């Protein structure tokens, strides 16, 4: 089949992204979060971040390919690159026009480090690291590293990092120097993949 002259329609499921946004919203609106709620939020929030950034980069890259290459093959190769690595390549390789926003660009560069740290808690949870406490002589309580993250203060830090990562990516999208990108296209990308409206105001 000649791909240049065939009609191709691409439909991508965003179920994981949307369902985990909904799950986070429901949990974060609870009056009190227990330990299990926090575990679910950490995991769901990471799924939202990873699936949204992977989908965003996939959308950007496939829309820029002009060679007659099978799009499914392109997607397969893109999906073999981690979302953090794709984001780093985007920040370093895309053409930007920052004008008077160079200081903001330098500030948002730190989202790379935040993404690496963001993955740490989720990885420990999904890799089965111990969630435990130890009490010695009924006085001294020691917590495993994973359990020590299951407190509201640390969860709020994780959520703030999530928001900053999204804000940083929104900033970089706004400053991409690509004449073929309309303002509506950029706004659609931000709304679809970098939307954090599901997070209640008291966690921002």
SS3 13: coil
User: Within 13 A of 32's CA, how many CA atoms are on the CB side?
Assistant: 1
- Convert the pLDDT of each residue in 45-92 to its tens digit: 999 999 999 999 999 988 877 667 778 888 898 999 999 999 999 999
Mean predicted lDDT score pLDDT of the chain: 89
CA count, 13 A, side-chain hemisphere, 45 = 33
In this structure, the dihedral spanned by the alpha carbons of residues 177, 179, 180 and 186, taken in order and rounded to 10 degrees, is 50
Contact status, residue 166 vs residue 83, Cβ threshold 8 Å = no
Q: What is the model's pTM?
A: 0.89
* Boundaries of domain holding 51: 3-203
Total of domains in the chain: 1
Taking residue 135's Cβ as centre, other Cβ atoms within 10 Å add up to 9
Q: What is the per-residue pLDDT across 74-85, written as a single tens digit (0 to 9) for each?
A: 889 899 999 999
Task: Give the orientation angle of helix 83-93 with respect to helix 111-126, to 10 degrees.
Answer: 180
Q: How far apart are CA 147 and CA 130, in angstroms?
A: 8
């Amino acid at each position: 089949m000649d791909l240049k002259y065939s009609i191709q329609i691409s439909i991508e499921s965003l179920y994981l992204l949307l369902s985990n946004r909904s799950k986070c919203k429901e949990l974060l609106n609870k009056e009190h979060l227990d330990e299990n709620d926090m575990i679910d939020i950490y995991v769901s929030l990471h799924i939202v971040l990873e699936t949204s950034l992977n989908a965003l980069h996939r959308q950007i890259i496939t829309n820029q390919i002009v060679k007659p290459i099978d799009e499914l093959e392109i997607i397969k190769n893109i999906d073999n690159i981690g979302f953090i690595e794709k984001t780093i390549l985007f920040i370093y390789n895309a053409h930007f026009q920052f004008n008077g926003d160079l200081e903001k660009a330098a500030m948002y560069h730190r989202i790379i480090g935040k993404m690496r740290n963001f993955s740490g808690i989720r990885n420990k949870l999904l890799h089965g690291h111990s969630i435990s406490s130890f009490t010695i002589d009924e006085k001294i309580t020691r917590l495993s590293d994973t359990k020590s993250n299951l407190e509201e203060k640390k969860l709020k830090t994780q959520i703030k990092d999530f928001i900053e990562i999204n804000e940083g990516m929104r900033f970089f999208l706004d400053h991409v120097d690509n004449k073929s990108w309309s303002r509506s296209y950029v706004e659609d990308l931000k709304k679809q993949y970098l939307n954090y409206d599901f997070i209640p105001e008291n966690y921002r």
